[in-house]
């Protein structure tokens, strides 16, 4: 199990956001977090990478006890994750290659040839091999989000966290992004946890659906996505 929350309480300052959260994620699973704005979806995602502290209960993420996680250990945890933001958070004054190279250099990829090879690999995966030398501002919104996914998978993460990854995109580009995340999940057995307001995505790309509402996390449904991934590993 990659992630296991038991009776977890999450606060923003002194205000409770979610209480008694029970939440687990397996390798290669597709997980959706649904619920209205302000219901705690983003706070739950942020707690997984240590930005929102665990206020009660127990939480284990990729072998780390999140209730005792020290700041100095956060980089080790986050290197096993890929994070995809709704607002992209790319550096607009740099090319695609330089955006991706910055991440690799920050995570101790010493050899330039190795970095260039890895950048080519992830751009092929997101089907943008010809955009390497483009400035970020020259890309469409859908292309920028695909570059964000390329950035997220540079270090072959065990988990991808995506906070409303289609929120700023039209329906066609949104579906392309979900299809890409699902393809990565299948190929690399990476768990994908994403928050969304679009309740159609689980119908198109099956997974486990949770809903944040009234301060609680409820498991709504589960499809065969995890079973399908497990069968491909056998």
pLDDT value at residue 221? 66
Cα of first residue to Cα of last residue in the chain, in angstroms, is 17
Residue 209 sits at φ, ψ, to 5 deg, of -115, 125
- Work out the burial of residue 104: count CB atoms within 10 Å of its CB; fewer than 13 is exposed, 13-18 middle, 19 or more buried: buried
Any residues with CB less than 8 A from the CB of 119 and at least 6 apart, and which?
97, 100, 101, 104, 132, 154
Residue with tokens 């296991």: 4
CATH architecture classification, 3-80+157-233: 3-Layer(aba) Sandwich (3.40)
Give the tens place of pLDDT for each residue, 139-152. Answer: 999 999 999 999 99
Give the tens place of pLDDT for each residue, 79-103. Answer: 999 999 877 789 988 999 999 999 9
pTM: 0.89
Rounded-to-integer distance, Cα 60 and Cα 48, Å: 9
Which has the closest alpha carbon to 166: 196, 206, 124?
196
Q: For the chain, give the mean pLDDT.
A: 90
Residues recorded for the chain: 234
pLDDT value at residue 81? 94
Give the tens place of pLDDT for each residue, 175-197. Answer: 999 999 999 999 999 999 999 98
How is residue 226 written in tokens? 């995890």
CB 66 within 8 A of CB 179: no
DSSP code, position 66: T
Percent of the chain at pLDDT exceeding 70 = 94
Looking at the predicted structure, is the pLDDT value of residue 227 above 90? Answer: no
pLDDT value at residue 89? 85
Give the tens place of pLDDT for each residue, 10-54. Answer: 998 888 999 999 999 999 999 999 998 889 999 999 999 999 999
pLDDT value at residue 168? 83
- Other beta carbons within 10 angstroms of residue 25's beta carbon come to 22
Give me the residues paired with residue 118 across strands: none
Q: How many Å is the Cα radius of gyration of the chain?
A: 17
Domain edges within the chain:
3-80+157-233, 91-155
Alpha helices in the chain (DSSP H): 41-48, 74-78, 96-106, 112-125, 141-152, 171-188, 201-204, 225-233
pLDDT value at residue 101? 96
């Amino acid at each position: 199990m990659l992630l296991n929350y038991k009776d977890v309480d999450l606060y923003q300052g002194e205000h409770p956001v979610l209480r008694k959260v029970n939440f687990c994620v397996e390798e290669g699973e597709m997980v959706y977090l649904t619920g209205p704005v302000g219901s705690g979806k983003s706070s739950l995602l942020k707690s997984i990478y240590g930005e929102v502290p665990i206020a009660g209960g127990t939480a284990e993420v990729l072998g780390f006890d999140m209730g005792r996680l020290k700041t100095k250990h956060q980089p080790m945890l986050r290197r096993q994750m890929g994070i995809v933001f709704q607002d992209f958070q790319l550096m607009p004054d740099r090319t695609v290659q330089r955006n991706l190279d910055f991440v690799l250099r920050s995570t101790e990829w010493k050899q330039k040839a190795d970095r260039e090879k890895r950048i080519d690999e992830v751009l092929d995966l997101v089907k943008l091999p010809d955009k390497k030398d483009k400035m970020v501002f020259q890309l469409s919104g859908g292309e920028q989000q695909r570059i964000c996914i390329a950035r997220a998978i540079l270090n072959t993460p065990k988990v991808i966290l995506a906070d409303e990854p289609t929120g700023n995109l039209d329906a066609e580009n949104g579906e392309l992004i979900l299809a890409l995340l699902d393809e990565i999940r299948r190929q690399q057995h990476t768990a994908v946890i994403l928050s969304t307001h679009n309740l159609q995505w689980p119908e198109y790309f099956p997974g486990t659906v949770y809903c944040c509402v009234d301060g609680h996390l409820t498991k709504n449904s589960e499809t065969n996505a995890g079973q399908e991934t497990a069968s491909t590993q056998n």
